[in-house]
Amino acid sequence: MNARERVLCALSHKEPDRIPLDLGAGCSCKFTKYFYVKLLDYFGIKEDIEMNHIPYQLVNASDKVLDLLKCDVRSAHLHPVPREKNPYARSWETEDSYYLTNNWGVEYRMPKHQGLYYDLIGGVLFDTEDDEDDKKFIWPIPEKFPPADRRELGNYRAAGYATYVSEQFGNGFLQQGPLMWGFENWFAMLVAEPERCEPFIEKLLTKKIEYYDNILEVYGGLVDICCEADDFGTQRGTFISPKVIREMILPYHKKLNAYLKAKGVGFMTLHSCGSVEAVIPDIIEAGFDCLNPVQISAHNMSPQHLKKTYGKDIVFWGGGINTQFTLPNGTPEQVREETKRNMDLFARDGGFVFSTVHNVQDDVPIENFIAMWETFQDNCKY
Amino acid sequence: MNRMEEIRKAVETGRRKQIAGLIKEALEEGCSPFDILNYGMIETMGLVGEKFKTGEIYVPEMLVAARTMKEGVEVIKPLLMSGQTAAAGKFIIGTVEGDLHDIGKNLVAMMVESSGFAVIDLGVDVAPEKFIAAIRENPDCQVVGLSALLTTTMPSLGKILTAVREAGLHAQVKIIIGGAPITQEYADKIGADGFAADAASAATLVKELAS
């Protein structure tokens, strides 16, 4: 059984030869830059680091590292070709911080001293009052991709890996709004002025479709898994009522999922942090096959409960270890114990791809990461 | 639906842009500003707070109701100045030194204001001496709320409490604390007079402590 067969078997809710492993490839299964430097040191590898996402400081892990980790998934390394001179995009620095404004007019800042990420500090729509103001927003044009990049994913497929496109156009239908209007404003608009949100969400859908058309123009027929990212949860529950998520957000995901599957994408993953248990049936109904990152420490998200209640209908892609406490701050022994326990709880009948709960961050000690990886290798056979 | 019911509905559903017009119409039709405030808005916000506490509604629904009420209060405030009613009390609030987060603090301020209190919002990153000065300037203030979101700024809560005690002002005001990492246990440990887990509970707590 090769890596791709293993992943597709698990995604079809059957037990492969061993639990598939995704570290460094899928959406929110990646490494931050300074953790990756530790990993390269550990393996004694020297290489130029290719960044994947600047605000989150994520890298594209190299094939050499992914092979050493025996990972089953490879993601396309996208090289977007801009089709416009975006009116908002710029980056600059001051004495103490780096700044950037992205194509959506969203502003970020990262302190030079001990800054780990770029934090949201503002956006072009933060002070808007009504839909007339909203209309002044200049939408970014989805980028194209170099046709020659098809070879890379083709090689991954030929080598027997599961293939993944882990980038999206903007954030999700719920979470792009907060970046542009601010959290308070957007969530208030969703419940009190839904007529202002709907045209935006509708347009976001058409733009996402255009983006995926551009992706599939290059990679068509080679993509096993795509992922949309849309955080529905805080640690205690959903950001907004399940009813609003159900009625205003998930119908758009459903349309996009149907479109992409008709275009030949094998499986759709939803990345949604926090306690999303209240809407898991709706996520399934919207056509998602996999859920990531499976934040097991959040309210009502225990592996036992999730597997028993939803395990037949959705694949858990993540949930391998708590990245808020155990992986960065636990002892290697605690890491081993939790990794083994979660594997035992999630593995039965397939429907599980092992990964950390979210990206592996700079503060994770290398010995904890290795303790997790060794425990996985020792216990991954069915 | 009569006008007062429309006002209640607008507050409950957060129709911020409608509230001023509805209040003006109600006043023209002879409703008293006192009734509009107490029955139309404060009582409605009380119900909204209860629904939030029981999980029937979420933060956004409470936020839009509070924003709507705030705009409504602006409309009738000038009419209430003539002594037709007095505020239920006075509340000072701020996010502690070193902490720039204000969503939770703003929600608490709005909910307390919505329950009829005059609220003095000192903003974010507020030093102990600023709290002391505000308490001195407002001898009629009964309750002070301190907010901290970060585990790293929690120690500032204790520092402010100590400063209030040392200034001899603790007999005059009750100090309550809140924020994501805060617990009742922590409040007891540092000697705060109260803790609330969310904005609706904070409004109830302020009312209890002020009465």
pLDDT digits over A226-238, tens only?
A: 999 999 999 889 9
Structure-token pair, residue A377: 């290798």
How would you class B2 by CB atoms within 10 Å of its CB: exposed for 0-12, middle for 13-18, buried for 19 or more?
Answer: exposed
Q: With beta carbons under 8 A apart, name residues in chain B contacting A244.
A: 60
Q: How far is B103 from chain A (nearest CA, A)?
A: 8
Instruction: Give the mean pLDDT of chain B.
Output: 90
* ipTM for the assembly: 0.79
User: What are φ and ψ of residue A31, in 5° steps?
Assistant: -115, 140
Inter-chain touch A192–B15, beta carbons under 8 Å: yes
Inter-chain touch A240–B60, beta carbons under 8 Å: yes
* Residue-range domain boundaries for chain B: 3-80, 90-210
Higher pLDDT, B101 or B147: B147
User: What pLDDT is stored for residue B81 in this prediction?
Assistant: 60
How much is the average pLDDT of A34-59? 95
User: What are φ and ψ of residue A133, in 5° steps?
Assistant: -65, -45
- B90-210: which CATH number, 3.10.150.10, 3.40.50.280, 1.20.1070.10, 1.10.540.10? 3.40.50.280
User: What pLDDT is stored for residue B129 in this prediction?
Assistant: 96
* Residue-range domain boundaries for chain A: 3-83+141-379, 86-127
Inter-chain touch B63–A190, beta carbons under 8 Å: no
Three-state DSSP at A352 gives strand
Best probe of the B interface among A109, A129, A184, by most B CBs < 10 A, is: A184
User: What pLDDT is stored for residue A14 in this prediction?
Assistant: 98
User: What pLDDT is stored for residue B100 in this prediction?
Assistant: 76
User: What pLDDT is stored for residue B86 in this prediction?
Assistant: 61
Measuring CA to CA, how many Å separate A292 from each of A315, B38, B98, B101, B133?
Answer: 9, 47, 34, 28, 50
Q: What percent of chain A stands above pLDDT 90?
A: 91
- Residue from the list B55, B60, B103 with its beta carbon closest to the beta carbon of A191: B60
pLDDT-based confidence at residue A56 (cuts at 50, 70, 90): confident
In eight-state DSSP terms, residue A84 is S
Higher pLDDT, A128 or A157: A157
Q: With beta carbons under 8 A apart, name residues in chain A contacting B59.
A: 187, 239-240
The answer to whether the bond into A55 is cis (omega within 30° of 0) is: no
Inter-chain touch B61–A184, beta carbons under 8 Å: no
Predicted confidence (pLDDT) at residue B84 exceeds the cutoff of 80: no
Structure-token pair, residue A290: 């996999």
pLDDT in tens, B124-167: 889 999 999 999 999 999 999 999 987 778 899 999 999 999 99
Three-state DSSP at A57 gives coil
User: What pLDDT is stored for residue B82 in this prediction?
Assistant: 53
- Provide the CB-side half-sphere exposure for A329 (13 A, CA): 4
pLDDT in tens, B16-64: 999 999 999 999 999 988 889 889 998 998 899 889 888 889 989 988 9
Look at phi and psi of residue A241 and say left if phi exceeds 0, alpha if psi is from -120 to 50, else beta: beta
CATH of the domain spanning B3-80: 1.10.1240.10
pLDDT in tens, A144-186: 999 999 999 999 999 999 999 999 999 999 999 999 999 989 9
pLDDT-based confidence at residue A43 (cuts at 50, 70, 90): very high
**End-to-end alpha-carbon separation of chain B, Å?**
35
Predicted confidence (pLDDT) at residue B85 exceeds the cutoff of 80: no
Q: Identify the CA nearest to B111 among candidates B41, B193, B54.
A: B41
Angle at B53 between CA B155 and CA A174, to 5 degrees: 85
Report yes or no: B36 and B27 within 8 Å, Cβ to Cβ: yes
Query: Which residue bears the tokens 């594209």?
Result: A60
pTM for this prediction: 0.85
Please report which residue ranges of A46-123 form alpha helices under DSSP H.
63-68
Measuring CA to CA, how many Å separate A106 from each of A89, A98, A166, A170?
Answer: 9, 14, 21, 11
Residue B47 has a CB neighbour count (10 Å cut-off) of: 13
How much is the average pLDDT of B64-79? 87
Instruction: Give the mean pLDDT of chain A.
Output: 96
Q: What percent of chain B stands above pLDDT 90?
A: 64
Angle at A231 between CA A225 and CA A235, to 5 degrees: 125
Predicted confidence (pLDDT) at residue A209 exceeds the cutoff of 90: yes
Pairing of strands A90-93, A97-101: antiparallel
Predicted confidence (pLDDT) at residue A275 exceeds the cutoff of 70: yes
Type of residue found at B209: L
pLDDT-based confidence at residue B200 (cuts at 50, 70, 90): confident
Predicted confidence (pLDDT) at residue A312 exceeds the cutoff of 80: yes
CATH of the domain spanning A3-83+141-379: 3.20.20.210
User: What are φ and ψ of residue A99, in 5° steps?
Assistant: -125, 150
Inter-chain touch A192–B106, beta carbons under 8 Å: no
